């Protein structure tokens, strides 16, 4: 049987347009901006969208002279209307890659499907363990010995898309959700730029819902 490999978009060097979606402080956004500016990631952030008007990450974008858009979920009568407007705003930027960096809204299935292979998310757990919220507290309560973060392609099913890379940290006996979160954040700052860099250089593809790097299966625990 023939192999079906989905080759992801292969932008020209330094011409990969990233659109970053945020809801909060934007610390992952800042790492991405910095690595685009210093040339580590051959891409540029073309815009930042937030569902929270007071998100601190919006100021980070403005400081870098990046265009921002707010789609406040509280201004819509229902989720369908919000999803429609969000999709329109994403499409308006015409991004090569959509990067969810602490974006706290569940995306519409049609939107996730339309951008399949061109939308990444970072989740604070070692997926498939602990999808959803409160992952650090759940890892401690579940007596996990390891915890971490996962970068994955977005699919209509929550936190279930093909995994690109994971970063691991030990769970210490003295850990609180806050202390564990701090160490996981450091892994996020390492693995998210790595995944974006691979995409921007045209090195990623998907075969049967598994991510390939340069045509070979990835050891996601990098």
- pLDDT band per the 50, 70, 90 thresholds, residue 12: very low
The answer to whether position 7 is within a domain reads no
The answer to whether position 164 is within a domain reads yes
Strands (E), the chain: 5-7, 16-22, 43-50, 68-70, 97-100, 119-123, 146-153, 163-170, 204-207, 210-213, 216-217
The angle, 0 to 180 degrees and rounded to 10, between the axes of the packed helices 56-63 and 27-37 is 10
The sign of the CA dihedral 133, 135, 141, 143 is: positive
Provide the residue range defining the domain that includes 173. Answer: 13-217
| CATH number for position 78 | 3.40.50.170
Q: What is the pLDDT of residues 22-35, one digit of tens each?
A: 999 999 999 999 99
Confidence (pLDDT) at 219: 84
The answer to whether position 2 is within a domain reads no
Task: Check if the beta carbon of residue 105 is closer than 8 Å to that of residue 83.
Answer: no
The answer to whether position 5 is within a domain reads no
Q: Is 123 a catalytic residue?
A: yes
Tokens of residue 35, six digits: 């690595």
Rounded to 5 degrees, what angle do the CA atoms 187, 126, 9 make? 75
Confidence (pLDDT) at 124: 98
The answer to whether position 4 is within a domain reads no
The answer to whether position 3 is within a domain reads no
For residue 37, the surrounding DSSP H or E stretch is: helix 27-37
Task: Check if the beta carbon of residue 174 is closer than 8 Å to that of residue 138.
Answer: no
Find the catalytic residue in 17, 73, 123, 147: 123
- pLDDT band per the 50, 70, 90 thresholds, residue 15: confident
The answer to whether position 222 is within a domain reads no
Looking at every residue in the chain, the average pLDDT score rounds to 94
Tell me what the mean pLDDT of segment 44-64 comes to.
Answer: 98
Task: Check if the beta carbon of residue 21 is closer than 8 Å to that of residue 99.
Answer: yes
**Does the pLDDT of residue 1 top 50, yes or no?**
no
Structural domains of the chain, count: 1
**Does the pLDDT of residue 162 top 90, yes or no?**
yes
The answer to whether position 56 is within a domain reads yes
Tokens of residue 174, six digits: 């003295």
Alpha-carbon 38 to chain mean position = 20
Confidence (pLDDT) at 5: 56
Q: How far apart are CA 176 and CA 172, in angstroms?
A: 9
User: Which of these, 131, 139, 137, 172, lies nearest to 155 by C-alpha position?
Assistant: 131
User: Which of these, 4, 34, 29, lies nearest to 19 by C-alpha position?
Assistant: 29
CA distances from 85 to 1, 11, 71, 210 (A): 42, 27, 7, 31
């Amino acid at each position: 049987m023939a192999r079906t490999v989905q080759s992801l978009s292969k932008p020209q060097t330094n011409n990969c347009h990233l659109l970053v979606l945020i809801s909060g402080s934007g610390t992952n956004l800042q790492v991405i901006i910095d690595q685009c500016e210093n040339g580590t990631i051959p891409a540029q952030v073309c815009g930042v969208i937030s569902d929270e008007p007071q998100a601190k990450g919006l100021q980070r974008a403005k400081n870098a002279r990046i265009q921002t858009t707010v789609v406040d979920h509280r201004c819509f009568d229902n989720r369908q209307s919000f999803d429609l407007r969000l999709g329109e705003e994403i499409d308006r930027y015409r991004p090569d890659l959509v990067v969810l960096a602490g974006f706290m809204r569940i995306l519409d299935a049609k939107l996730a499907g339309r951008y399949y292979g061109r939308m990444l998310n970072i989740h604070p757990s070692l997926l498939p363990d602990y999808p959803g919220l409160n992952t650090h507290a759940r890892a401690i309560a579940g007596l996990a010995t390891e915890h971490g973060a996962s970068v994955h392609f977005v699919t209509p099913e929550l936190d279930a898309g093909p995994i690109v890379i994971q970063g691991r940290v030990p769970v210490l006996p003295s850990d609180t959700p806050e202390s564990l979160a701090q160490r996981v954040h450091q892994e996020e700052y390492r693995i998210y730029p790595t995944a974006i860099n691979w995409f921007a250089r045209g090195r990623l593809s998907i075969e049967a819902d598994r991510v390939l790097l340069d045509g070979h299966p990835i050891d996601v625990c990098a």
